[in-house]
Structure 1
Amino acid sequence: MSGQAAAEFDVDEARRVLGEVFAPWVQDLGLSIERLDTSPPPAAGPDWQPGATLRMAFSERLCRNGGIVCGQALMALADTAMVIAISAASGGFRPMTTVDQTTHFLKALASSDVLADARVVRLGRTMSFGRVMLLSAADNKPVAMVSSAFVML
């Protein structure tokens, strides 16, 4: 990716997209942009992938009975994180829609923010594919693994 493309989609632009593109209920999740990875760091290996890290702040409103963060909120976080990651890898937001999302829940999460580490596996002209690791911000342990596919509109 060229330096020019990376400069077009920075954290400020990602925040703008997060605030203007997504439905109000997604905005109510309390998501924030932690980091964008648009070019490989100096020590990156050949398996490096562009992406983004988002944070979902803990809220009792996102919990089901028993104080566990609900799966629906986790899935929405993963989906949103992939849109931001694909936008970062593309050098700007492109309209897209999810055509597939598979979530494997690994453990219950209570009383912690959630980090979504979204990576673009394949960026295509008409289809893009990604993976997201959802991690407890309290101990950095995996909560869920998500794979997804998006059609570029």
Structure 2
Amino acid sequence: LCGQAMMAAADTATVVAISSARGGFVPMTTVQQSTTFQRPVTGHDVLLDVRVTKLGRSIAFTEITLTAEGSGEPVAHASTVYALLG
């Protein structure tokens, strides 16, 4: 699985996690995303675990761990900052 796809998955999963934490979707935009890749993934699905570490009125912070299904080994880690527009 390419890094670009993992970054897009982390970005999308973050929107879902923030929306859930707020009790519904509001318009938001990525301010910053930092991703580190720890090992290649071949032949496995990738699972994402998103933690909202701070949720304010206008900004949210998250940490995302990506693991290869069945191995439990992290394959990548991302942190994001989102501006909440609504």
Give the TM-score range, shorter chain: over 0.9
Residue in 2 that maps onto 1:81: 13
Larger Cα-atom Rg: 1
In the alignment, what sits opposite 2:50?
A: 118
Residues 1:92 and 2:24 aligned together: yes
How many Å apart are 1:138 and its aligned residue?
2.5
TM-score (ref. length: structure 1): 0.55
Distance 1:100 1:135 in 2: 22
The number of equivalent residue pairs is 85
* CA shift for structure 1 position 80: 0.7
Q: Distance in 2 between matches of 1:98 and 1:116?
A: 18
Q: How does 1:2-151 map to 2 (within 5 A)?
A: 69-151=1-83
The one-character-per-residue Cα deviations of 1:102-128 (angstroms, maximum 9, x if unpaired) are: 001010000111001001000011110
The structure richer in strand per residue is 2
Q: Percent identity?
A: 49
Give the letter aligned to residue 66 of structure 2. L
Cα shift at 1:140: 1.6
Three-state SS of the structure 1 residue aligned to 2:16 is: helix
Higher relative contact order (CA closer than 8 Å, sequence separation 6+) = 2
Q: Aligned partners of 1:85, 1:101: CA distance in 2, in Å?
A: 15
The CA deviation string for residues 10-29 of structure 1, in whole angstroms up to 9 with x for no partner, is xxxxxxxxxxxxxxxxxxxx
Tell me which stretches of 4 or more aligned residues in structure 1 moved more than 3 Å.
Answer: none
Query: Tell me, which stretches of 5 or more residues in structure 1 are unaligned?
Result: 1-68
Runs of 5+ in structure 2 lacking a partner? none
